[in-house]
């Protein structure tokens, strides 16, 4: 305090309480101003690279810029302008114009003060803190890997033919569009969301469609057994030939260019082209030798940090925490990618945001019904469930475990999706529900009303 008095008043005898307070305030705000200046300098000099420009990458950029206006940001992607992968089947069905695929216009990166380069990343060196593309090498201070996933194909003879396609990227769409215009028969291998959406798009365009699934039921990750049975019948009612428990042995190209699929224990299936929808894998090949751990994706913690300092990962490429306590799991869903990107962007900006965990939710309309699910709904994962009357919802199942809501699934009326959506915050909280399972709908509405009332909205 003597030093303080001499700094302000020149001696310690004339120092009063006001002078002491003035000094403390001056010292406090000087330190804050200095800290902010240092922080601003750091942000101006910081170099951030985001690999990937889909849901996770763009969400990270937008949320980074809410808190950090100064850092240099470079976005790298082997694809061109950002687009929405979930809209691919809507383009094929002619429900949207091709231009509707784009997420944003050319001014997007200018608005967020970022540079975009269409280059293919081939390597990352965390020791040197560099990213190498097919054209150049770039330094970084912080790196986000948001490279998504790629479609895979089973090891079937003839699978690499020029009339065998995926439906996962814009280039896949571009390759498929001419065949939807001129062909008559298509065979779809697989029965997940992507495969069945592709089959529905083809059928809605008037093509003869055959779906071949190796497992004994469709959509194992989206519906329970009963829901899968109901949807299977809807698919057949729409004129699609659906084979389950069937393996494709080979794809033969005939002299006229048409294809024949040879199946195990079933008759051959003719086709003009084939769409494969048997799953995806994280895009991590370019990380080989980098020291960044990749095990069925890149494991990340609640901050989206990888095992390497200043390297983050989000979206389909990242295996992160779930609300059910899983430490590392991939939910290759658009909303999950947006959430993870937000967390990564905020943390790269200097915050300490923790992800509360992903919660899977799927919704789509196909074959004349709405198909949706949230959380856990398989019989082995629940100890209590309630099936609503078929009118007016269709097949709507709500699931609980240990007195807590954990999920549900739907094949039916789109109005019922509202209840699955309302369940989302209650599932996230993991709180016990004070009602019978069959009364969950009324309980949900009451809880939402109480929340709105408490928040004064």
Whether 59 contacts 341, CB under 8 Å: yes
Distances in Å between the Cα of 432 and the Cα atoms of 97, 199, 401, 404, 447 are 46, 41, 9, 5, 12
CA angle 192, 195, 196 (to 5 degrees): 80
Distances in Å between the Cα of 397 and the Cα atoms of 84, 232, 418 are 30, 17, 13
pLDDT in tens, the chain (457 residues): 333 333 333 333 333 333 434 433 444 444 444 444 444 544 456 899 999 999 999 999 999 999 999 999 999 999 988 999 999 999 999 999 999 999 998 899 999 999 999 999 999 999 999 999 999 999 999 999 999 999 999 999 999 999 999 999 999 999 999 999 999 999 999 999 999 999 999 999 999 999 999 999 999 889 999 999 999 999 999 999 999 999 999 999 999 999 999 999 899 999 999 999 999 999 999 999 999 999 889 999 999 999 999 999 999 999 999 999 999 999 999 999 999 999 999 999 999 999 999 999 999 999 999 999 999 999 899 999 989 888 888 999 999 999 999 999 999 999 889 888 888 988 998 878 877 766 777 777 776 555 544 554 4
Determine the Cα–Cα distance for residues 387 and 364; give it in Å rounded to an integer: 20
Strands 273-276 and 185-189: parallel
What is the number of other CB atoms lying within 10 angstroms of the CB of residue 58?
Answer: 25
pTM (whole model) above 0.75: yes
Whether 53 contacts 79, CB under 8 Å: yes
């Amino acid at each position: 305090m003597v030093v303080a008095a001499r700094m302000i008043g020149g001696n310690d005898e004339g120092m009063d309480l006001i002078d002491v307070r003035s000094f403390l305030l001056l010292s406090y705000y000087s330190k804050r101003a200095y800290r902010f200046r240092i922080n601003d300098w750091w942000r101006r000099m910081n170099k951030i690279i985001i690999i990937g420009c889909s849901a996770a990458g763009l969400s990270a950029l937008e949320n980074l810029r809410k808190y950090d206006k100064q850092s240099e940001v470079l976005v790298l992607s082997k694809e061109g302008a950002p687009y929405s992968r979930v809209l691919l089947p809507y383009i094929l069905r002619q429900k949207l114009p091709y231009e509707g695929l784009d997420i944003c216009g050319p001014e997007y990166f200018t608005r967020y003060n970022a540079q975009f380069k269409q280059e293919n990343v081939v390597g990352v060196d965390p020791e040197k803190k560099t990213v190498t593309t097919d054209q150049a090498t770039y330094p970084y201070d912080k790196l986000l890997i948001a490279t998504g996933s790629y479609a895979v194909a089973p090891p079937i003879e003839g699978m690499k033919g020029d009339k065998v396609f995926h439906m996962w990227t814009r280039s896949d769409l571009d390759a498929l569009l001419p065949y939807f215009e001129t062909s008559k028969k298509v065979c779809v291998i697989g029965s997940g969301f992507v495969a069945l959406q592709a089959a529905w798009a083809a059928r809605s365009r008037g093509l003869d469609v055959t779906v071949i699934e190796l497992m004994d039921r469709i959509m194992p990750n989206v519906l329970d057994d009963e829901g899968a049975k109901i949807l299977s019948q809807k698919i057949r009612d729409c004129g699609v030939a659906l084979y389950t428990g069937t393996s494709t042995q080979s794809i033969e190209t005939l002299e006229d260019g048409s294809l024949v699929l040879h199946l195990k224990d079933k008759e051959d299936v003719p086709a003009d082209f084939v769409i494969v929808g048997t799953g995806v894998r994280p895009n991590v090949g370019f990380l080989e030798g980098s020291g960044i751990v990749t095990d069925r994706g890149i494991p990340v913690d609640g901050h989206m940090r990888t095992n390497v300092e200043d390297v983050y990962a989000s979206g389909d490429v990242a295996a992160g925490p779930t609300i059910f306590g899983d430490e590392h799991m991939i939910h290759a869903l658009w909303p999950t990618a947006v959430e993870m990107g937000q967390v990564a962007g905020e943390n790269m900006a200097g915050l300490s945001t923790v992800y509360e965990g992903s919660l899977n939710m799927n919704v789509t309309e196909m074959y004349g019904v709405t198909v949706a699910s949230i959380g856990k709904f398989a019989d082995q994962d629940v100890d209590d469930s309630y099936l609503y009357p078929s009118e007016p919802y269709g097949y709507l199942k709500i699931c609980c475990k240990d007195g807590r809501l954990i999920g549900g699934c739907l094949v039916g009326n789109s109005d019922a999706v509202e209840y699955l959506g309302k369940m989302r915050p209650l599932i996230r909280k993991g709180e016990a529900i004070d009602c019978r399972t069959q009364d969950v709908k009324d309980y949900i509405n009451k809880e939402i009303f109480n929340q709105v009332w408490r928040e004064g909205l």
